[in-house]
């Protein structure tokens, strides 16, 4: 319970009607979660406008309203606070309500198109191995020390983030590693959080259904670094062509990591196969259980962050060498028949290209590479033909199938993908809308020694169709096929 006047700090108040000296029992931006004594923050969302639910919130017991404009009808028993931007204000209000938990933690935010989940998970595992109490916010799961907490978004809403950070403070966590999505930056979900460091992995074609242009997408990522304080560090992948652009205006201390270019932290791949790889990191040889050039960048980022957090170099290298991969990220399953399946979350053209090129650099090419891939519905449609084209160019056989169709017709999505297939490549193509059937077909046509890539869903345990999430697990399906055939 907090006084309203104490939780409005930094919220850019423009107008007030009513008393600020009232007790607030909870904060909500969803009217369904309002209860007696709540502060309701009216957010303008992508689907609905919270201002339309102000009266409903009052009827449910809200005693104060934060809004972008004063309502035409004002209840004299209710306090109304007009702010410049309610989404931004919610970030500060959430932080204030939970006693500014990020100021009591060392919070590192990782942003970029690909690699966020792997880097954050490896950091969590590394610092746990180093003996620290650690929190994690990621696409796959949120963790407060050893406790797993279900996740629904790459980056939760501002209230949930601060609630989790508060739990981490209470549980004695020292470090927190979190994914920071472009949506979260633009929607102010991380506003009010004090970051000790920010990390940029890369930026490629994604989320243009939301950001509209690639420039807007870049600017969303850049905004995160523009807001870092001078006592923080900004670490960027210098091999990405936008790596310098992202951090050019930050006040934070700048550092770079890379394999191709001169960098603060330099890496080089020495050997690479399905069992793992050997790297040279800042002149030290490092063996890893992870495979692929993309994972070389992830490992290098993790090493760089640990050094910037003043950890012992030798201990870092020893611990990193023990770390295994992340579920659904280059996740390898082998059958007794000699068939190798790889489950990966790759759902952008660049991520798919990276995975396929890695597999092709490792395999003998005496075997077939069969790729099963789809594209999500109600998302950027322009990447669909690109992904199909890449799959056809870098695989021996391609099976196009459904991913998460959401509210779109799966057949329409597949038709969009087919447009990217060169006519000369159509003989290697199969289109099977049912994802279970597509995975089963890939296994059935595979011969001993062949490799199957199942791309797009990775760790997900559902398939979203018409607003319903049906149980579905790529890894379980392929594992059962390998056990029973």
Q: What is the pLDDT of residue 36?
A: 97
DSSP conformation letters of 321-378: HH----TTSSEEEE-TTS-EEEEE---SHHHHHHHHHHHHHHS-SSS-EEEEE---TT
Instruction: Identify which of 109, 105, 113, 329 has the alpha carbon closest to the alpha carbon of residue 242.
Output: 113
Instruction: Identify which of 42, 185, 178, 196 has the alpha carbon closest to the alpha carbon of residue 106.
Output: 196
Residue 210 has pLDDT above 90, yes or no: no
State the DSSP code for 261: S
Least confident among 57-61, 191-195, 237-241, 273-277:
273-277
Q: What is the pLDDT of residues 36-73, one digit of tens each?
A: 999 999 999 878 999 999 999 999 999 999 999 999 99
Query: pTM for this one?
Result: 0.89
H/E element, 65:
strand 64-67
Beta strands in 368-413 (DSSP E): 369-373, 397-400
State the DSSP code for 130: T
- Looking at 3.90.190.20, 3.30.420.40, 3.40.50.2300, 3.30.200.20, the CATH number of the domain 331-484 comes to 3.90.190.20
- Specify the CATH superfamily of domain 101-322: Mur-like, catalytic domain (3.40.1190.10)
| Cβ–Cβ < 8 Å for 447, 368 | yes
**Radius of gyration of the chain measured on its C-alpha atoms:** 24
Q: What is the pLDDT of residues 318-347, one digit of tens each?
A: 999 999 988 899 999 998 889 999 999 999
**Span 369-382, average pLDDT:** 94
Residue 313 has pLDDT above 80, yes or no: yes
Rounded to the nearest 10 degrees, the angle between the axes of helix 293-308 and helix 349-362 is 110
Q: What is the pLDDT of residue 45?
A: 84
- Rounded to whole angstroms, how far apart are CA atoms 441 and 421? 20
Provide the 3-class DSSP secondary structure of residue 269: strand
Ranked by mean pLDDT, which of 119-123, 154-158, 359-363 comes out on top?
119-123
- Rounded to whole angstroms, how far apart are CA atoms 178 and 201? 13
Instruction: Identify which of 290, 233, 313, 296 has the alpha carbon closest to the alpha carbon of residue 259.
Output: 296
Residue 83 has pLDDT above 90, yes or no: yes
Range(s) of the chain covered by CATH 3.40.1190.10: 101-322
- Specify the CATH superfamily of domain 2-97: MurE/MurF, N-terminal domain (3.40.1390.10)
Range(s) of the chain covered by CATH 3.90.190.20: 331-484
Range(s) of the chain covered by CATH 3.40.1390.10: 2-97
Residue 211 has pLDDT above 50, yes or no: no
């Amino acid at each position: 319970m907090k006084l309203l006047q104490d939780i409005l700090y930094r919220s850019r108040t423009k107008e007030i009607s009513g008393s600020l000296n009232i007790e607030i029992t909870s904060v909500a931006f969803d009217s369904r979660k309002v209860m007696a004594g709540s502060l309701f923050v009216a957010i303008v969302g992508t689907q609905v406008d919270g201002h339309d639910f102000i009266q409903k919130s009052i009827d449910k017991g809200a005693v104060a309203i934060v809004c972008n404009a004063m309502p035409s009808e004002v209840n004299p028993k209710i306090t109304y606070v007009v702010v410049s931007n309610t989404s931004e204000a919610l970030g500060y209000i959430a932080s204030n309500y939970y006693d500014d938990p990020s100021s009591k933690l060392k919070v590192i935010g990782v942003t970029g198109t690909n690699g966020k989940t792997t880097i954050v998970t490896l950091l969590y595992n590394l610092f746990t191995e180093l003996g620290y109490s650690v929190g994690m916010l990621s696409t796959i799961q949120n963790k407060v020390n050893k406790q797993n907490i279900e996740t629904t978004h790459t980056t939760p809403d501002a209230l949930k983030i601060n609630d989790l950070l508060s739990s981490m403070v209470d549980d004695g966590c020292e470090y927190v590693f979190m994914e920071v999505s472009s949506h979260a930056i633009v929607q102010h979900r991380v506003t009010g959080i004090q970051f000790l460091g920010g990390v940029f992995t890369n930026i490629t074609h994604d989320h243009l259904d939301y950001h509209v242009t690639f420039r807007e997408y870049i600017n969303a990522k850049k905004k995160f670094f523009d807001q870092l304080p001078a006592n923080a560090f900004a670490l960027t992948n210098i091999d990405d062509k936008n790596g310098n652009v992202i951090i050019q205006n930050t006040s934070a201390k700048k550092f770079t990591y890379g394999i191709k270019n001169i960098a603060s932290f330099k890496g080089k791949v020495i050997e690479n196969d399905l069992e793992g790889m050997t790297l040279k990191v800042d002149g030290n040889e490092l063996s890893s259980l992870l495979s692929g050039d993309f994972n070389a960048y992830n490992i290098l980022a993790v090493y760089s962050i640990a050094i910037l957090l003043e950890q012992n170099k030798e201990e870092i290298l020893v611990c990193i060498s023990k770390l295994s991969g992340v579920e659904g990220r280059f996740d390898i399953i082998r059958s007794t028949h000699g068939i190798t399946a790889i489950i990966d979350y790759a759902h952008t053209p660049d991520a798919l290209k990276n995975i396929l090129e890695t597999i092709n650099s490792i395999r003998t090419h005496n075997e077939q590479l069969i790729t099963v891939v789809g594209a999500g519905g109600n998302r950027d449609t322009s990447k669909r033909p690109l992904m199909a084209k890449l799959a056809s160019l870098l695989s021996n056989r391609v099976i196009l199938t459904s991913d998460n169709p959401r509210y779109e017709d799966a057949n329409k999505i597949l038709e969009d993908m087919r447009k990217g297939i060169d006519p000369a490549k159509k003989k290697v193509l199969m289109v099977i809308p049912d994802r279970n059937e597509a995975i089963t077909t890939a296994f059935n046509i595979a011969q001993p020694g062949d490799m199957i890539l199942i791309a797009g869903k990775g760790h997900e345990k559902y398939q979203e169709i018409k607003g319903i999430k049906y149980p579905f697990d790529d890894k379980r399906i392929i594992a059962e096929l390998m056990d029973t055939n």
